[in-house]
């Protein structure tokens, strides 16, 4: 059969959008677990931070690792935003038509899409600010440093919005990815879609709860540590304690 | 025996005659008494018979197989002949399907859109034989495969999926679930000899499968319960595979 030329770009863009979205969503879930270690105590969070700075591999911490990781995520974030942008309503008229359609159809998944566009748009700004700060201040992660950033440096309003946006965008996105590519389809697709939707709500609620508890923990530490803002956390080791007693 | 009172239905209909320069879209409400087993088809006929004989709407089969009676019932695209009034509240709003050419009131010209779609996607068997030989026996097909094709062939071109699709609202060139379903149907058919690349050229773009945003309005409103979600996902995977060859 003769070879037919095809334009591969639309397929590539679609694939890139899905793949970058999947990476970002999985990263966000993992990230949430790391930051929430503060709920297990300052020491645990401190150890996790040191782990990511490579202290357990190199014997010394290298915050540059965090910069590189945040930079990589930033690049994926930008790529994802760029390709996803083509799905946004391109002018006010289209937006109005879509809004009207959503209202009159009153269809859950279509409405969820609207939320995804909205939260995605919000993240252009919120996510960029956060990623930039982490990239440029990689060593400022830790029980005190992070809490100071939240409270003293006034990041908590941004984090509240970012948390809402990320968790809604991510879980709706993953749900839609599953439908889009036919994952977990099963033999009864109606039933599996129903289950997927329930799972999606459960995941959103779980991560929002965890997220807000975590944020509350940092806010508490931040307020207590306000007078000494800027001071770094140090693990209180046994020897130091003994030394102090002598 | 006490006689139970029937409900009085308030049916609001979007009235508009695009051919009348004086006319403008407006809602008109009719009150009719509900009868046992009443469908919207019966209700509309009653309105036309007893209230307003200028009301325009389409029906042919009255059995959910011709696809001509599709309209927005309380905002949701569906077939009027299949809709029992007992399943609805007393206030019912009816409007024509959006996007299609309006003939008047509830009557739209879906045929024009569907014909364009079928021409564009060439929804017929491409067997590559130079000459038509009517004496030649058709190749045999496994019954399971025939069933699978038949399942997709059940589409009645009612246009509900088109009206329920958010993507088409924004981008009218998008072929919608009905188009994608047809492509899936021909792709399954072993008599159709089109290559994956040829299919890619039909739907491997933003007007085709990559335009679909998986909102699944189509799947949820299709009155024939076609497996649209599954087929769109299947085509998407197939197109990605073709692009990686
Ligand atoms: S796919 Fe379903 S909703 Fe769409 S035209 Fe066919 S029967 Fe109607
Ligand atoms: S899944 Fe959504 S975007 Fe795709 S065809 Fe169906 S309604 Fe339209
Ligand atoms: S009249 Fe034929 S489908 Fe309703």
Highest mean pLDDT of the ranges A103-107, A154-158, A233-237:
A154-158
Ligand closest to B81 (CA) is 3
Ligand closest to B209 (CA) is 2
pLDDT reported for residue A243: 46
Q: Which tokens sit at B128?
A: 């590559």
Q: Looking at the domain assignment, is residue A151 inside a domain?
A: yes
Mean per-residue pLDDT, B71-81: 96
Q: Looking at the domain assignment, is residue A223 inside a domain?
A: yes
Find the B28 Cα to ligand 2 centroid distance in Å.
32
Asked whether the beta carbons of residue B243 and residue A87 sit closer than 8 angstroms, the reply is no
Same fold, B8-107 and B110-244: no
CATH of the domain at A111: 1.20.1300.10
- Note the pLDDT tens digit of each residue in A93-128: 999 999 999 998 889 999 999 999 999 999 999 999
Question: Is pLDDT above 90 for A241?
Answer: no
A107 is annotated as contributing to ligand binding: no
pLDDT reported for residue A4: 82
Atom of ligand 2 nearest to the CA of B161: 7
pLDDT reported for residue A244: 47
Asked whether the beta carbons of residue B217 and residue A106 sit closer than 8 angstroms, the reply is no
DSSP H helices, chain A, are: 9-35, 42-52, 55-58, 64-84, 92-105, 108-136, 143-151, 156-181, 189-224, 238-245
- Catalogue the E-assigned strands of B8-162: 8-15, 26-33, 70-73, 76-79, 91-95, 101-104, 107-109
Q: What is the CA radius of gyration of chain A?
A: 22
Q: Which tokens sit at B110?
A: 């879906």
Q: A67 is in which domain, residue-wise?
A: 13-233
pLDDT reported for residue A59: 85
Is the domain B8-107 a CATH 3.40.50.720 member?
A: no
pLDDT reported for residue A2: 58
Q: What is the fold, at CATH topology level, of the domain defined by B110-244?
A: Fumarate Reductase Iron-sulfur Protein; Chain B, domain 2 (1.10.1060)
Residues with CB under 6 A from ligand 2: B 164-167, 176-177, 212-218, 232
Distance, CA of A81 to CA of B103 (rounded, Å): 42
A-to-B residue pairs, Cβ atoms closer than 8 angstroms = 103
Closest residue in B to A15 (Cα) is B240
Share above pLDDT 70 across residues of chain B, in percent, rounded to a whole number: 99
Could you tell me the residue ranges of all domains in chain B? 8-107, 110-244
Residue with tokens 């599996």: A192
Asked whether the beta carbons of residue B215 and residue A94 sit closer than 8 angstroms, the reply is no
Find the A241 Cα to ligand 3 centroid distance in Å.
84
Question: Is pLDDT above 70 for A197?
Answer: yes
Mean pLDDT of chain B: 94
Q: State whether residue B74 is helix, strand or coil.
A: coil
| pTM assigned to the model | 0.89
Asked whether the beta carbons of residue A15 and residue B240 sit closer than 8 angstroms, the reply is yes
Mean per-residue pLDDT, B125-154: 89
Q: Which tokens sit at B59?
A: 């029906």
Q: Does the complex come out with an ipTM higher than 0.90?
A: no
Any ligand 3 atom below 6 A from CB of B61? yes
């Amino acid at each position: 059969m003769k070879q037919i030329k095809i334009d591969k770009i639309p397929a590539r863009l679609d694939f890139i959008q899905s793949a970058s979205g999947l990476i970002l969503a999985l990263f966000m879930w993992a990230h949430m677990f790391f930051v929430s270690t503060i709920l297990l105590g300052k020491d645990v969070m401190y150890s996790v931070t040191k782990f990511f700075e490579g202290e357990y591999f190199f014997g010394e911490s290298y915050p540059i690792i965090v910069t590189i990781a945040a930079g990589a995520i930033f690049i994926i974030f930008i790529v994802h935003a760029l390709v996803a942008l083509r799905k946004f309503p391109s002018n006010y008229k289209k937006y109005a038509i879509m809004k009207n359609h959503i209202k009159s159809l009153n269809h859950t998944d279509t409405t969820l899409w609207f939320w995804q566009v909205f939260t995605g748009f919000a993240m252009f700004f919120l996510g960029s600010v956060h990623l930039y700060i982490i990239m440029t201040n990689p060593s400022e992660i830790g029980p005190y440093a992070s809490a100071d950033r939240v409270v003293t440096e006034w990041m908590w309003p941004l984090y509240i919005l970012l948390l809402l946006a990320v968790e809604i965008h991510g879980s709706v996105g993953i749900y839609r990815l599953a439908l889009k590519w036919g994952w977990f389809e099963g033999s009864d697709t109606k039933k599996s879609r129903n289950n997927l939707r329930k799972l999606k709500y459960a995941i959103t609620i779980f991560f929002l709860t965890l997220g807000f508890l975590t944020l509350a923990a940092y806010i508490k530490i931040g307020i207590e540590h306000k007078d000494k803002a800027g001071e770094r956390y140090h693990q209180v080791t046994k020897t130091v304690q003994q030394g102090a007693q002598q | 025996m006490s006689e139970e009172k029937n409900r009085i239905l308030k049916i609001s209909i979007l009235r508009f005659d695009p051919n009348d320069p004086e006319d403008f879209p407006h809602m008109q409400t009719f009150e009719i008494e509900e009868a046992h087993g009443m469908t919207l088809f019966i209700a509309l006929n009653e309105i036309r018979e007893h209230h307003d004989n200028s009301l325009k709407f389409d029906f042919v089969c009255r059995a959910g197989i011709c696809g001509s009676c599709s309209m927005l019932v309380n905002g949701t695209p569906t077939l009027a002949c299949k809709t029992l009034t007992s399943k609805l509240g007393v206030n019912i709003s009816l409007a024509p399907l959006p996007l299609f050419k309006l003939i008047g009131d509830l009557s739209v010209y879906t045929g024009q859109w569907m014909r364009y779609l079928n021409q564009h996607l060439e929804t017929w068997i491409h067997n590559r034989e130079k000459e038509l030989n009517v004496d030649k026996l058709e190749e045999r097909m496994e019954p399971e495969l025939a069933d699978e094709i038949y399942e997709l062939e059940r589409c009645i071109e009612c246009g509900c999926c088109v009206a329920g699709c958010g993507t088409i609202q924004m981008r009218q060139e998008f072929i919608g679930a009905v188009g994608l379903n047809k492509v899936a149907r021909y792709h399954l058919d072993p008599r159709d000899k089109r290559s994956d690349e040829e299919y890619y050229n039909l739907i491997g773009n933003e007007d085709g499968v990559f335009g679909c945003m998986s909102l699944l309005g189509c799947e949820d409103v299709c009155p024939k319960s076609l497996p649209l979600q599954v087929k769109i996902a299947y085509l998407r995977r197939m197109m990605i595979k073709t692009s990686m060859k």
